[in-house]
């Protein structure tokens, strides 16, 4: 006895990528009910597990930590036209503010603002971070925290020659 495949309409409530488990490539067939339990073919189970694995593996990864950064990038405020300037706080590893910089109102390029920073006055150490907020007159926005941290390390020697 042949059981017809399940129509795509019956799978609308499942949230797996159709590019991986397209019905043409992985037909889902229902086995006859046995003792009140509907049995699925192994292909469906493999497809479902693969979809769950790929959904978990495709999560966005934060950017890697950097050493001695020279700039910060961020997306502009939705109210960028009304913003007077952006403030950037450099935070110690314990989260306290080390320094606040007024980075002005740089022009966004493809919806990204790049602001130069100088970390040379910052003491050598690891785990520093930054946060940015927009200022419109005297009204500040909420802070946007950096996705990664930075380390302040001494610069290496240069122009080494053996004589």
Flag whether pLDDT at 31 surpasses 70: no
pTM of the model: 0.60
Q: What average pLDDT does this structure show over 71-99?
A: 94
Q: What is the DSSP letter of 22?
A: -
Pairing between strand 150-152 and 144-145?
Answer: unpaired
Give start and end residues of each alpha helix (H) in 16-149: 42-57
Q: What is the pLDDT of residue 105?
A: 95
Q: Which of 153, 161, 143, 138 lies closest to 69 in space, CA to CA?
A: 153
Instruction: From residue 155, give the alpha-carbon distance in Å to each of 68, 69, 90, 118, 125.
Output: 9, 12, 20, 14, 13
Flag whether pLDDT at 104 surpasses 70: yes
More confident: 116 or 51:
116
Q: What average pLDDT does this structure show over 54-68?
A: 68
Instruction: From residue 127, give the alpha-carbon distance in Å to each of 73, 148, 149, 156.
Output: 18, 9, 5, 20
Q: What average pLDDT does this structure show over 88-107?
A: 94
Flag whether pLDDT at 87 surpasses 60: yes
* Domains of the chain in sequence order: 8-57 (no CATH), 66-152 (2.60.40.1930)
């Amino acid at each position: 006895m042949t059981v017809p495949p399940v129509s795509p309409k019956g799978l609308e409530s499942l949230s797996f990528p159709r590019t991986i488990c397209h019905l043409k490539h992985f037909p889902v067939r229902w086995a006859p009910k046995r003792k009140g339990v509907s049995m699925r073919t192994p292909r469906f189970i493999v497809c479902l597990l693969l979809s769950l694995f790929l959904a978990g593996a495709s999560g966005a990864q934060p950017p890697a930590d950097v050493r001695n950064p020279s700039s910060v990038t961020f997306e502009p405020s939705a109210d960028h036209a009304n913003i007077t300037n952006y403030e950037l706080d450099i935070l110690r590893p314990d989260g306290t503010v080390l320094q606040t910089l007024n980075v002005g109102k740089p022009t966004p390029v493809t919806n990204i603002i790049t602001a130069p920073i100088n970390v040379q006055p910052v003491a050598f150490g690891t785990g520093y971070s930054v946060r940015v907020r927009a200022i419109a007159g005297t009204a500040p926005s909420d802070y946007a925290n950096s996705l990664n941290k930075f380390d302040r390390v001494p610069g290496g020697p240069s122009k080494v020659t053996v004589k």
